[in-house]
Structure 1
Amino acid sequence: MKRSSGARIGATAAVSVLSLALITGCSDEGSDDSKGSGSSSSSPTAQAAKALTTAELKKLLIAQGDVKGYKVEATDESYPTSKSAVKVDKTECQPLAYAMGGLAPGDTDANASIAASEDKSPTGTATSLEDMTEDDLADAFDVSSTLVSLSSYDGDGAEKTFKSVSDAVASCAGGFTISAQGEDQKLAKIAPEKASGAGDESVAFAASGAMEEGGTGDVHTEVVRHGNTIATYYTLNLGKLTSGEAYTVPSVVVDAQAAKLK
């Protein structure tokens, strides 16, 4: 692991406006366990559903103590606060970009987010960045961080939103460019992955992009529909990203959030 790439990636991880162009795509095609295809017709019950408010969603987000081995805390200024801050070069790919940034992938103002990161202590003995060896750095950055977001919709809005994400995984397979925080990043590939099967429908995808110091890396996203609420999970592990080791959206985080939405 190189220090410059680690520091740079960490500064912009939230929107994948890293020196990579990474994202994890969601699609039912990646899993026999995924529920639904995102194309189901709306039932009378769904059409009558009322969206939860942002305040109500905040109460439903996971909190500290809900996920064993994870620190759960409020998001900071490194995350985008509005959709106007995230642009794409292909309109059909916008839902994926929003999901990666912790924003509602569909048309709603009801949205709330939280950050969950592995709570682990580095094993190295170095007391400063300058004293760290490559192994120390790799260990320090080997932490999975997940941006969890909830958004809620009136009527069949959640079903339509889920379908827009699922459709985008297929239509954006060849990648797209995200513009955020003053930078443009090219995502070279969007690939479906196995989803958790949580909720009424779930899809997962990986976004691949070139890293600043050579090679490519992936970041991962899962989108789950629970009735008229959509939960999104965007996961980044800098250590595994730079080493090329496989990682996914942590199931313990998805399970903990799903339990609060039942």
Structure 2
Amino acid sequence: MKVRSTVVAAGALVLCLAAAGCGPDGGEGGGAAKKTTASRTPAAGSADGTDTDAPDAPASTPASTGETLTEAQLAGVVLRTGEVKGFEVAPLEGADERGTEESEDAACRPITAIINGSPEPAPAATVFRTATDTTEEGRDDQTVVTEILTSHPKGGAEELLRSVRDAVRACADGFRTTSDDGPSTYTGVQALPGAKAGQESFAYQVTGSLEGAEVPLVFHLVRTGSTVVTFYAAGFLTATPPEIPAALVSAQAARLP
């Protein structure tokens, strides 16, 4: 696997999310990558036996309008710098360049679609952001979380969550992909406990490999009405899965109409 360019990459790890590209295991990166990774920050949730396979709908969540938001409306509800203590929020660099990975197993396609930065079914509008923990500035394991906000025609948001859940079950033993840069291998997929937010949420891990070393990629999807927020963090330095801060998840979910 190899990195072409992404603001959350370190060395030559692959992440096709939004601005990255994939290639053969152990290949050289095709562009410079910022030496920053997601750290093991405050927990995204507790491993308390929560059924991560079932939709989470906190009683305190207000009823959604179900409106399909425009790009401008999505930009209006995305997190701002300072709304979560210590986090700076900025547009994702290179978001116009999406990944091209295609799963060899059709059942795993919903997972690769998110890795590519193009969740399916195709959204009506998309906004990308990164949230960086400025209190960890200078650390190799500085927390960087990517957010993808997507709005969907009626039923599309629910279908997105449902298809990803199904794919996580079907692809537990891993899968292979091909892309413009060559093949890549993911050795496993598993559901994770995650902070409950919105009307429905689901967290999972995809494990990649780099020169024989495991590289965990963690995703947390939150749906409110016709809007889905996909949070992403990667562990580039160790095989320990990164954690997406619950404060980010809760704060962003609270802004969704």
Q: TM-score range by the shorter chain?
A: 0.7 to 0.9
* 5+ residue gaps, structure 1: 21-28, 39-44, 123-139
Q: Distance in 2 between matches of 1:10 and 1:141?
A: 17
Q: Distance in 1 between matches of 2:232 and 2:185?
A: 18
Q: Distance in 1 between matches of 2:223 and 2:48?
A: 17
TM-score (norm 2): 0.73
2:125 corresponds to 1:110: yes
2:217 to 210, 216, 219: 219
SS of the counterpart of 1:7?
coil
SS of the counterpart of 2:109?
helix
Q: Which residue of 2 aligns with 1:153?
A: 152
TM-score (norm 1): 0.71
Query: Relative CO higher for 1 or 2, CA cutoff 8 Å, sep ≥ 6?
Result: 1
In structure 2, the CA distance between the partners of 1:254 and 1:215, relative to structure 1 (3 Å rule), is: same
Q: Which residue of 2 aligns with 1:125?
A: none
What's the CA shift for 1:176? 1.8
* 5+ residue gaps, structure 2: 1-8, 27-46, 57-62
SS of the counterpart of 1:174?
coil
Q: Which residue of 1 aligns with 2:76?
A: 59
Q: Distance in 2 between matches of 1:258 and 1:252?
A: 10
Residues 216 and 240 in structure 2, CA contact (< 8 A), matched pair in contact too: no
- 1:218-257 pair list within 5 angstroms: 218-238=216-236, 242-257=237-252
Q: Which residue of 2 aligns with 1:32?
A: 50
In structure 2, the CA distance between the partners of 1:33 and 1:173, relative to structure 1 (3 Å rule), is: closer
Q: Which residue of 1 aligns with 2:59?
A: none
- Say which is worse superposed, 90-99 or 215-224, in terms of deviation: 90-99
What is the number of residues matched between the two proteins? 220
What's the CA shift for 1:169? 0.6
Q: Which residue of 1 aligns with 2:108?
A: 93
Residues 31 and 195 in structure 1, CA contact (< 8 A), matched pair in contact too: no
What's the CA shift for 1:98? 2.6
Q: Which residue of 1 aligns with 2:29?
A: none
In structure 2, the CA distance between the partners of 1:31 and 1:197, relative to structure 1 (3 Å rule), is: farther
Letter in 1 for 2:247: V
Q: Distance in 1 between matches of 2:48 and 2:104?
A: 25
Q: Which structure's CA Rg is the greater one?
A: 1
In structure 2, the CA distance between the partners of 1:112 and 1:13, relative to structure 1 (3 Å rule), is: closer
2:9 corresponds to 1:9: no
Q: Alignment identity in percent?
A: 24
Superposed structure 1 runs of 4+ greater than 6 Å apart: 10-13
What's the CA shift for 1:150? 1.1
Q: Which residue of 2 aligns with 1:68?
A: 85
Letter in 2 for 1:8: A
Deviations 1:198-226 (A, max 9, x none): 111111111112222x3312110011111
Residues 108 and 153 in structure 1, CA contact (< 8 A), matched pair in contact too: yes
Letter in 1 for 2:81: Q
